[in-house]
Structure 1
Amino acid sequence: MIEVGQKAPEFNLPDKDGKMHALKDFKGKKVVLYFYPKDNTPGCTKQACAFRDNMNRFNDKNVVIIGISKDSPKSHQKFADQFDLNYLILSDEDLQAIEAYGVWVEKNMYGKKYMGVSRSTFVIDEQGIVEKVYKKASPDKNAGDIIDYLESDESH
């Protein structure tokens, strides 16, 4: 997994409308990049809606929110429309960014092992360097934890 102090890996991925977005497009802004397992699941919906509900606070700090999962742009479109998501969610069906950030991991549910996305969030500074990592981010607390971090002295 990418660690604090490392350069954030570049990516170029489609949004729900098929428009491509690259990390370098946001140079000069702080970026909160969060990876989540799947659209329309309880934890992912809770996390996505918490970012939506706090968008004004992120906008006030000139912070860009980007969510990434391996769902298709079409799935993202339904997810964004259903929950009125007001930020970018990008589709990484080929695992380009998911693998580059080290969040494609072996999971274990009911004794069955499978590969999936580890819910993780990276705060990337204006120069593209990772300044904070939330491994195993909490769907309930992730957005609030990041706001607390951004409002603390630690992030300046």
Structure 2
Amino acid sequence: MALIKVGYDAPNFTVKDNHDQNISLSSYRGKKVLLSWHPLAWTPVCTDQMRALENNWQTFQKLNTIPLGFSVDPIPCKKVWATSIQVNTVSLPSDFWPHGKVTQDYGLFNQMEGVSERANVIVDENGKVKWVKVYPPKQLPDINEVIQVLSNM
């Protein structure tokens, strides 16, 4: 599936997160949503990526933005990992089953590896895709760039 394009409606989803909560994109209308995909839990770059979301929670709040840390890892894995890396506030949704369905809907599923690409997608208050960036697997996304994009929306 092709990479989601800016200006398109963001595909809705309902998945469980590391807190066993149902997370639905449509429930965040009126807020911006940062969908931050990481390939797999328990890896160094993914850990730093999710900690960057957690460490900037207050900034995201000021920018009317909900950050979500997506991967295809199962819920129990995300739950233990979040605790171990001290990500307590940010929700880490699991796109485990059907395997990578949300990731595929956004065109971010790596068929060869069975995981997501490393990417950030910003959805505006009305559910439209406003920004998409895919990163090399070993590159940590620049959280300041993401914050700058959100600040200019």
Give TM-score scaled by structure 1 length: 0.87
Aligned residue identity for 1:147: I
5+ long unaligned stretches in structure 2: none
Aligned residue identity for 2:60: F
In structure 1, what is the equivalent of residue 93 of structure 2?
A: 90
Q: What is the SS of the residue equivalent to 2:120?
A: strand
Q: What is the number of equivalent residue pairs in this alignment? A: 147
5+ long unaligned stretches in structure 1: 108-113
In structure 2, what is the equivalent of residue 110 of structure 1?
A: none
In structure 2, what is the equivalent of residue 60 of structure 1?
A: 62
1:71-150 equivalent positions in 2, closer than 5 A: 71-85=73-87, 86-93=89-96, 94=98, 95-106=100-111, 114-136=113-135, 139-150=139-150
CA contact (8 A) 1:44 1:139 kept: no
Instruction: Give 1:39 deviation, angstroms.
Output: 0.7
Instruction: Give 1:26 deviation, angstroms.
Output: 0.4
CA contact (8 A) 1:68 1:90 kept: yes
Q: What is the SS of the residue equivalent to 2:12?
A: coil
Aligned residue identity for 1:90: P
Worse-superposed segment, 83-92 or 4-13: 83-92
CA contact (8 A) 1:29 1:125 kept: yes
Instruction: Give 1:135 deviation, angstroms.
Output: 1.4
In structure 2, what is the equivalent of residue 47 of structure 1?
A: 49
Higher-Rg structure is 1
How many percent identity over aligned positions?
27
Residues 36-77 of structure 1 deviation map (CA, whole Å, 9 limit, x = unaligned) = 101110110011111111111111111100111111111111
